Structure 1
Amino acid sequence: MSSSPARIPPIQCLLTFEAVARLRSATLAADELSVTPSAVSHRLRQLEALVGLKLFSRQDFGLTTEGAHYLAQVRIGLQALRQLPGHSAQEKRLTRLRLAVPPTFSRQMLLPRLALFRSQFPDVELSMQVAIPLLDVTAEEADLEIRFGVGGYADVEELRLLDDEITPVCSPDYLRENGPFDGFDTLEQVQAAHLIRSPLEPWGTWFRHCGIALPEPDAGAQFNDAGLIFDAAASGFGVSLQRLKLGAAWLESGRVVRLSRLSVRSPNSHFICWKPGTLKRWECAAFVEWLREALR
């Protein structure tokens, strides 16, 4: 005898789950749905009992892995129910989400994963523009912005996405012609090399880690984009500081080689930022949650 089909949860439970996951607050969800906070709690308990999953992992309504996967399915289902009969897929209105992203982060960390977001949220139309690291400059207004720096921005709310570590690297040809550099952790080795400079990754971080008494270099090739720094090292310009996560493709391909087994925490991280109130829009909240999980 075949088993009975799984019971579909009540629509009010699914709407409540989506609202709480988006707003990260039972009180705000209750206001949006015009019910009491206790009704929200009851609906969430009912939903978890019906699906047999723990959907939230923390008091601040952070999703479990199962909850995040289920949320994506719930949003697809709710969006399908909102589609009016007689309207073709071409006539369906897309929800536009505007992103501002530094170029190397976009190419190395975001774009390789973006197909997963598009498959989970096909009704979100992404519009991307380049953001200038450290200066936090964008050409147009954006809903969400990836910033690179130390954080603590006064004008926006933020979530830390990606920390990284740095280590000195150069091309194999440069190493053969100018090495050896055993550890690249002494004054003599540093002074014997051409240092590739960038405000994105000051050499002072490595100098302090190694106890090298040198000021920040004021001569040599300089770049203000991480990808250009990595490409310059791969092209034999000299020695650069490589971010191990952001620059993994250069290391894995052998275009650059490490000069030290050690690495040190970079002072700068990548943050996703938004103006207060932005996450009331479900597509913005969905992208922030998705990207945090995708980079975890």
Structure 2
Amino acid sequence: MQFRKRLPSLTALLMLEAVLRRKSFTAAATELGVTQAAVSRQIALLEEELGQPMFVRKHRAIEPTPACRILGASLAQSLSNIAETVDAIKTSGQDVVTIGATIAFSSFWLLPRLADFRSQNPGIQVRVVSQDEKIDLDSGEINIAIRYGIPPFNDGTVIASKDDFITPVCSPDYLKRRQSGPLSSTDEYIETHSSDPLWFSWAQWLDQIGASFDLKPSLRFSHYTETIFAACNGQGVALGWGALVQAFLDAGTLVALNDLTYKADGRYNILLPLRARRTVANDRAVAWLTAALHA
């Protein structure tokens, strides 16, 4: 409030800066998109408030007074500082991208691939938000989300999608220890508890293959990451979502128990908020994620 009392009209100051820079009331008015009369009126009000003239009016020319030159130099420096600060804020926002995904997707799919994105985009900072609860795209904190489900979604725009397949997986050691043949009641089952109706359970799997025995999981976890690490440690059989366990299969820490696979109902979706802001970082991250998802 103190600044407001000490400063004259900001509109008048902006017009004064334009007149000084363009050396013409008419040119300043054209640049600012107002009439010459409006510029003249604001300068007159400024002169009245300051108690001295800003310009000496000559025939078809104006000459700034010493007081005007001093004020103009201060204005030019101050406006330049403001413009540089605004540019820095804009640039900072463009150099950061925030990606949201589930804990399992972040841990098993996204993080192992981030080094590739960072090597291609060394100037972009990446922030990853991992949570199994639905990510709020309306908050403005997330630039890009990877969400499993069936589009469309009422809070975002789908840029790309990919299907997934589910198959029973276990450690090589567990595969050697168990009796050969199909899944049975003697197997140790590891399950992830989820409230997501699209999350596939062992009960659904057994129903799909027409199994006649009842199953009671030996281990249950609240996060899929724990389920997979337990399977890697030879503690039983888990349902392996292809996109999430492929790295473990490639490394040999997990193996497919058999050749049975089931196509998941949902898809992995790259999702942008409905009011997404276009930045260089966001655009590059979306392009990279899309290519990586379909690789």
Q: Same fold (TM over 0.5)?
A: yes
CA distance in structure 2 between the aligned counterparts of 1:195 and 1:138, rounded to whole angstroms: 33
Per the TM alignment, residue 144 of structure 1 is displaced from its structure 2 partner at its CA by: 1.5
Question: Are the counterparts in 1 of residues 159 and 272 from structure 2 also a CA contact under 8 Å?
Answer: no
Per the TM alignment, residue 249 of structure 1 is displaced from its structure 2 partner at its CA by: 2.4
CA distance in structure 1 between the aligned counterparts of 2:128 and 2:108, rounded to whole angstroms: 15
Per the TM alignment, residue 213 of structure 1 is displaced from its structure 2 partner at its CA by: 5.2
Gaps in structure 2 of 5+ consecutive residues? 1-87
Rg (Cα) greater in structure? 2
Counterparts in 2 of 1:224 and 1:201: CA distance versus 1, 3 Å: farther
2:190 alignment partner, one of 172, 192, 196:
196
Counterparts in 2 of 1:179 and 1:159: CA distance versus 1, 3 Å: farther
Per the TM alignment, residue 247 of structure 1 is displaced from its structure 2 partner at its CA by: 0.6
Match in the other structure for 1:40: none
Would you say 1:275 and 2:273 are equivalent positions? yes
* RMSD (Å), alpha carbons: 3.1
Question: Are the counterparts in 2 of residues 279 and 285 from structure 1 also a CA contact under 8 Å?
Answer: no
Question: Are the counterparts in 2 of residues 174 and 238 from structure 1 also a CA contact under 8 Å?
Answer: yes
TM-score (norm: length of structure 1): 0.57
Question: Are the counterparts in 2 of residues 130 and 138 from structure 1 also a CA contact under 8 Å?
Answer: no
CA distances 1:237-278 after superposition (whole Å, capped 9, x unpaired): 211111233212222333232221231212233222222131
CA distance in structure 1 between the aligned counterparts of 2:216 and 2:159, rounded to whole angstroms: 34
Counterparts in 2 of 1:137 and 1:253: CA distance versus 1, 3 Å: same
Match in the other structure for 1:144: 144
Point out the structure with the larger helix share: 2
Q: Where do 4+ consecutive residues of structure 1 move more than 4 Å?
A: 90-93, 137-140
Match in the other structure for 2:291: 293
CA distance in structure 1 between the aligned counterparts of 2:223 and 2:266, rounded to whole angstroms: 14
Counterparts in 2 of 1:160 and 1:265: CA distance versus 1, 3 Å: farther
Per the TM alignment, residue 129 of structure 1 is displaced from its structure 2 partner at its CA by: 1.8
1:123-134 correspondence runs (5 A): 123-132=123-132
Counterparts in 2 of 1:102 and 1:285: CA distance versus 1, 3 Å: same
CA distance in structure 2 between the aligned counterparts of 1:211 and 1:119, rounded to whole angstroms: 48
CA distance in structure 1 between the aligned counterparts of 2:104 and 2:241, rounded to whole angstroms: 11
Question: Are the counterparts in 2 of residues 109 and 246 from structure 1 also a CA contact under 8 Å?
Answer: yes
1:234 alignment partner, one of 232, 235, 254:
232
**Residue 239 of structure 2 aligns to a residue in which SS?**
strand
CA distance in structure 1 between the aligned counterparts of 2:174 and 2:187, rounded to whole angstroms: 10
Match in the other structure for 2:118: 118
Match in the other structure for 1:210: 209
Question: Are the counterparts in 1 of residues 162 and 268 from structure 2 also a CA contact under 8 Å?
Answer: yes
Question: Are the counterparts in 2 of residues 167 and 243 from structure 1 also a CA contact under 8 Å?
Answer: yes
CA distance in structure 1 between the aligned counterparts of 2:254 and 2:282, rounded to whole angstroms: 37
CA distance in structure 1 between the aligned counterparts of 2:232 and 2:157, rounded to whole angstroms: 37
1:248-267 correspondence runs (5 A): 248-267=246-265
Counterparts in 2 of 1:93 and 1:163: CA distance versus 1, 3 Å: same
Per the TM alignment, residue 100 of structure 1 is displaced from its structure 2 partner at its CA by: 1.5
Match in the other structure for 2:243: 245
Point out the structure with the larger strand share: 2
Per the TM alignment, residue 153 of structure 1 is displaced from its structure 2 partner at its CA by: 2.5
* Count of equivalent residues: 199
**Residue 238 of structure 1 aligns to a residue in which SS?**
coil
Identify the range of structure 1 (251-260 vs 90-99) with the bigger mean alpha-carbon deviation: 90-99
Identity %: 28
CA distances 1:100-152 after superposition (whole Å, capped 9, x unpaired): 122332233223332333344333222222121xx314798312222223343
Match in the other structure for 2:169: 169
TM-score (norm: length of structure 2): 0.57
